[in-house]
Amino acid sequence: SFIKISDAWDIANQKIENPISVAVGIIDTGVDASDGRHPEFQDVILNALSPELLKDSKFGGHGTQVAGIIGANNKSFPDPAKYEFPQMNGILSGVHKLDYRLELGKKPTSALTLYTLASTIDGLSRRGIKIINMSFANPIPVFSLTAYPLYSKLFSKKSDILFIVPAGQLTVFGYDFPAVDAELISPANFGDNFANVITVGATDITPGAEDKR
């Protein structure tokens, strides 16, 4: 209710007259979608640049959660009475005339593997991906001699791709530092430098502090 997604769906469903298709790249920890673990991904086209990405490498399933927010199926449509907790309706599935697929890439684990990120983005680009979500929680301080020039080159070179990047959580030696100024970390700091980069923040769900930045 806070992000008004139902209103967005209503607008989209009024505007789209004929079925359309879209593909979204997700660079994260993978998705636990095999062996029937998640009914939320049944009938969802889910491809991966490598087989290991069909199993989430992160305890707690960060990549699975992200993929669900973006593209979990909409089992409760068209009858909301059929909703079964905790079934998630993904953002894409709420657009009723939208055929979509999710393409998975592997997130970099450190600054030393950022160069593999460029290869991952190239791989998704070759598959026709024009939207890439990169919500992995290991942004790098802007003074890094590696991260800043690499991200800058990536976003500039791939100007035909829309990149979604996280705003402000910084993880250092396993400790999370939330709400870091987005201008101090890459790739968050590029949101106001490139037209094809959107930096996304978050709000709190702690009881009593709902919707607090």
Whether the Cβ atoms of residue 45 and residue 127 lie closer than 8 Å to each other: no
- CA atoms within 13 A of residue 148's CA, in its CB half-sphere: 10
pLDDT value for 137: 55
pLDDT value for 190: 92
In the chain, which stretches have pLDDT less than 70? 1-2, 36-37, 75-88, 109-113, 136-139, 141-143, 169-172, 174, 178, 209
